[in-house]
Chains A and B, each alone.
Chain A
Amino acid sequence: MAAKRKTPVKTRNPDLIRGVGKYSRSKMYHKRGLWAIKAKNGGVFPRHDPQPKADAAIEKPPKFYPAEDVKKPLLNKRKPKPTKLRASITPGTVLILLAGRFMGKRVVFLKQLSSGLLLVTGPFKINGVPLRRVNQSYVIATSTKVDVSGVNVEKFDDKYFAKEVPKKKKKSEGEFFEAEKEDKKKLPEDKKEDQKAVDASLLKSIEGVPDLKAYLAARFSLKSGMKPHELVF
């Protein structure tokens, strides 16, 4: 084929309305410079011989034909959209966890990860919630905000939280029972360091607000007379 242009050609024939161009065929002939191309080529429009086709690979007939026609499943080009973050959840918002081990705990929201889950921290020293991922649906966003400007959460993503795959070990008869016992998972030191680093600046901003530390340490619960649909969080 002839060399491709870097940018597609803008039509030199603007539309008056859809289907009707401004210039006639003869005017367009002149505008496109076809007369100049012809003149360069001695009065005839240049013609290129078709390029030799590359030899197509020799297709062998298949060894096996299925008895019935096999249906091909329809092509699925769906790309799921990134999870929309509720407008009430911004970095530094205090969230109330509604399910799981830390049900009722009030935690600080840090950022939304690429999988859509929310990265959240206790801080660990205050309420025992470590850096953790949490689903948006299992969370109530309060209107209380903590200053998180001093925290760097760039390095945390979904891969950080992936489970560690244990190396496959060949178990002989005798070692079978011992191997099971030694498998108590210790938290690696660098994860502890990460937790401390994130919490250091958070703790400072939390201690700046009176009662906020005690607030984050306490669990949320519904008491008598509280109507969740009437409560302002």
Chain B
Amino acid sequence: MPFKRYVEIGRVALVNYGKDYGKLVVIVDVIDQNRALVDAPDMVRGQMNFKRLTLTDITIDIPRVPKKKTLIEAMEKADVKTKWENSSWGRKLIVQKRRASLNDFDRFKLMLAKIKRAGVVRQELAKLKKENSS
């Protein structure tokens, strides 16, 4: 099984440990075997160990160590944000965040909605069963 996602300049990665946990960053340069220079529109460019990064499928077209302005323009052009939010991985993270931020009242309303949906599904199933058996 060959690798599909490579560490390259322009690879978008997700930070999975540390202060910037959960942020999308772009690999802007490789420092040595273990570290990369990493940048994002809302953070100061800095080094990060590869162990703190999880590579995504998204890459953007940038020269090595671009200026912040060029980086932002390249990210806009490649439309990283929408690509991420439409990917299944990105959508899952958004749902997780939403579920974690639910209020006690929200959780109650969610429970009612789930029960209602299950009731409707069960009704349909019963109907189909009856049609099938008759």
The reply on B95 being an interface residue by CB < 8 A is no
Evaluate contact between B103 and A144: CB separation under 8 angstroms: yes
10 new A-B contacts at CB < 8 Å, known A142-B105, A143-B103, A211-B112: A94-B104, A106-B104, A142-B103, A211-B105, A211-B108, A214-B108, A214-B112, A215-B105, A231-B104, A232-B103
Q: Is B43 engaged at the interface, CB distance under 8 Å to the other chain? A: no
**Selected contact of A232 from candidates B102, B108, B112, CB within 8 Å:** B102
Enumerate chain A interface residues (CB-CB to B < 8 A). Answer: 94, 96, 106, 142-144, 211-212, 214-215, 218, 220, 230-233
Residue contact A144 to B104, C-beta cutoff 8 Å? yes
* Listed residue (B102, B103, B105, B108) with the most chain A CB atoms within 10 angstroms of its CB: B105
- Residue B109 CB within 8 A of the other chain: yes
- B33 at the A interface (CB under 8 A): no
Is B134 engaged at the interface, CB distance under 8 Å to the other chain? no
B101 within 8 A of A: yes
Q: Give the interface size class of chain B.
A: under 10
* Bound Cα distance from A138 to B54, whole angstroms: 43
Q: A211-B112, A214-B112 are in contact. Are A232 and B105 (CB under 8 A)?
A: no
Please tell me if the beta carbons of B108 and A96 are within 8 angstroms of each other in the complex: no
Cβ B103 vs Cβ A233 within 8 A = yes
- A210 (CB) vs chain B CBs: closest residue: B109
B102: A residues at CB distance < 8 A? 232
* CA distance in complex: A218, B109 (Å): 12
B1 at the binding interface (Cβ < 8 Å)? no
B100 within 8 Å of A by Cβ?
yes
Nearest-neighbour CB distance to chain A for B68, whole angstroms, equals 35
Chain A residues touching B, majority SS = mixed
Q: Which of B13-48 contact A (CB under 8 A)?
A: none
Q: Which residues 71-118 of B have a CB within 8 angstroms of A?
A: 100-105, 108-109, 112
Complex alpha-carbon distance, A211 and B105, angstroms: 9
Residues of B within 8 Å of A143, CB to CB, are 103-104
Please measure, in the bound complex, the distance between the C-alpha atom of A180 and the C-alpha atom of B112, giving whole angstroms: 48
Q: Which B residues lie within 8 Å of A230 (CB)?
A: 100
A218 & B108 in contact (Cβ 8 Å cutoff): yes
Nearest residue (CB) in A for B102 is A232
- Nearest residue (CB) in B for A142 is B104
A contact residues around B101 at 8 Å (CB): 232
Q: Which residues of A contact B108 (CB under 8 A)?
A: 211, 214-215, 218
> A56 CA to B134 CA in the complex, in Å?
114
Provide the bound-state CA to CA distance between A231 and B102, in Å. 8
Q: Are B112 and A220 interface neighbours, CB within 8 A?
A: no
- Nearest residue, chain A, Cβ from B105: A144
CA distance A212 to B104 in the complex (A): 11
Closest to A140 in B: B104
Q: How long is the Cα–Cα vector from A144 to B108 in the complex, in angstroms?
A: 12
B110 CB, nearest partner CB in chain A, Å: 11
Task: List the A side residues contacting B105 at CB < 8 Å.
Answer: 94, 142, 144, 211-212, 215
- Closest chain-B Cβ to A64's Cβ sits at a distance in Å of 67
Name the CB-closest residue of A to B103: A143
Query: Could you tell me the distance between the alpha carbons of A106 and B101 in the complex, rounded to whole angstroms?
Result: 20
Set of chain A residues within 8 Å of B104, measured between Cβ atoms: 94, 96, 106, 142-144, 220, 231-233
Q: Which residues of B contact A94 (CB under 8 A)?
A: 104-105
Give Cα A233 to B109, complex, Å.
Answer: 14
CB distance from A17 to the nearest CB of B (A): 49
